[in-house]
Structure 1
Amino acid sequence: MSTSGSTRSGLDLPSRDELLRIVGFVVLVNLVGGAAAVIGGPGSEWFLALEKPWFYPPGWAFGVVWTLLFSLLGVALYRVWRADESGERRVALGAFALQMVFNVAWTPAFFGAQNPGLGLAVIAVLWVLVVATIWAFRRVDRPAAALLVPYLLWVSFAAVLNYDIWRLN
């Protein structure tokens, strides 16, 4: 067996060190992404009093979905980070960092400021930045870009949800 962890089927598995680095990226992205949750969330009196659209998911779904998405983002970020040094790689890493800033900023805008309109503005910028990040990742590592597609779909859904909450209230 090679040091890369190849199996008899020819599938290359990550080495122990590489697996630890992947887990580190997944944990880091989950910590950064979840950090804003300490500001407040759907359990606040303010939010509970808001009218929600008919398609508002059950509360537990958000934690599950975000953990899965942040985990995919961590793997994608690792794949780009490990790529050969290049201008495209630097752009991709910068795009990822910028979209994460807006991802984290949404919670203080929406829940902290108790302002669905401000949240909508932040998530609109986030959506554009996620598309740009997918494009930048694709130039470095296509599988990494593909790992961001579920995130784009969820941000799209969240934007529609945010809009409807803003509209209803």
Structure 2
Amino acid sequence: MTPTLPSRTPSAPARPGRAPLTPRTWLALAGWLAIAFVAAAVGSIASVQAPQFYAQLTQPAWAPPAWLFGPVWSALYAMMGIAAWLAWREPAGALRRRALWLFAVQLALNALWSWLFFQWHQGAWALADIGLLWCCVAATLVAFWRLRPLAGALLAPYLAWITFAAALNFTVWRLNPQLLG
């Protein structure tokens, strides 16, 4: 006799209290993705001249090519939006409120970095911003993980990329004091 595993209906929530998948829930996913990509758009406004500016900078040998940033950031913003949606689907409470507040703060810091670095050419301020961003993303990851581990895990590549970007920011700033204040 072969044991059978119990089946789960696709619409049943995995845990009590989690919002079921309804049209409203899917609309919320679109909303969270839109929020993440609005932050990307705010940052990209400051980055209109980024390719020309980036090409002028002395860069370390390990710096990625400029074309790589767009696809990487697009994937990261999509994962951020999905992570926020997963956290939002959890039961309301202080932890969820704090997690989503941290998410909003990190989005603002993320958008600010492009203005500091590409528009205003302030390497030291951009480095300070990315340090705060790193702390805020780490806190958001932990808060999301406590709500739903998958939501936290979706932020891990973002935190890794920011760690790399901080090292790159520091190195490029030190190599280009005449262009980055």
TM-score of the alignment, normalized to the shorter chain, above 0.5: yes
How many residues are aligned here?
162
Structure (1 or 2) with the greater helix fraction:
1
Secondary structure at the counterpart of residue 63 of structure 2? coil
- TM-score w.r.t. the length of structure 1 is 0.86
Which of these residues, 115, 118, 129, is aligned with residue 125 of structure 2?
A: 118
How far apart in 1 are the matches of 2:143 and 2:67? 32
The correspondence of residues 72-83 of structure 1 with structure 2, limited to 5 A, is 72-83=79-90
How far apart in 1 are the matches of 2:10 and 2:142? 33
Which of these residues, 143, 146, 150, is aligned with residue 139 of structure 1?
A: 146
Indicate conservation of the 8 Å contact 1:83/1:89, yes or no: yes
Q: Following TM superposition, by how much is the alpha carbon of 1:3 offset from its aligned partner in structure 2, in angstroms?
A: 7.0
Q: Any idea what the Cα deviations from partners look like across 1:44-91, whole Å, max 9, x if unmatched? A: 3x4322101111111121110000000000000001112111110111
Which of these residues, 16, 22, 37, is aligned with residue 29 of structure 2?
A: 22
Task: Flag structure 2 segments of 5+ consecutive residues without an equivalent.
Answer: 1-8, 13-20, 177-181
User: Is 2:108 aligned against 1:101?
Assistant: yes
Give the equivalent residue in structure 1 for 2:15: none
Q: Any idea what the Cα deviations from partners look like across 1:87-139, whole Å, max 9, x if unmatched? A: 10111011111111111110111111111111111101111111111111122
Give the equivalent residue in structure 1 for 2:50: 42
Give % identity: 35
Out of 46-55 and 76-85, give the one that drifted further.
46-55
Q: Following TM superposition, by how much is the alpha carbon of 1:15 offset from its aligned partner in structure 2, in angstroms?
A: 5.2
User: Is 2:91 aligned against 1:84?
Assistant: yes
Aligned residue type for 1:37: S
Give the equivalent residue in structure 2 for 1:32: 39
Secondary structure at the counterpart of residue 43 of structure 1? helix
Aligned residue type for 2:150: P
- TM-score w.r.t. the length of structure 2 is 0.81
Indicate conservation of the 8 Å contact 1:127/1:156, yes or no: yes
Aligned residue type for 2:130: I
User: Is 2:171 aligned against 1:157?
Assistant: no
Give the equivalent residue in structure 1 for 2:58: 51
Aligned residue type for 2:123: P
How far apart in 1 are the matches of 2:135 and 2:171? 19
Q: Following TM superposition, by how much is the alpha carbon of 1:17 offset from its aligned partner in structure 2, in angstroms?
A: 4.9
Deviating 4+ runs (over 6 angstroms) = none
How far apart in 1 are the matches of 2:73 and 2:152? 18
Out of 152-161 and 112-121, give the one that drifted further.
112-121
Which structure has the larger Rg over C-alpha atoms? 2
Indicate conservation of the 8 Å contact 1:51/1:168, yes or no: yes
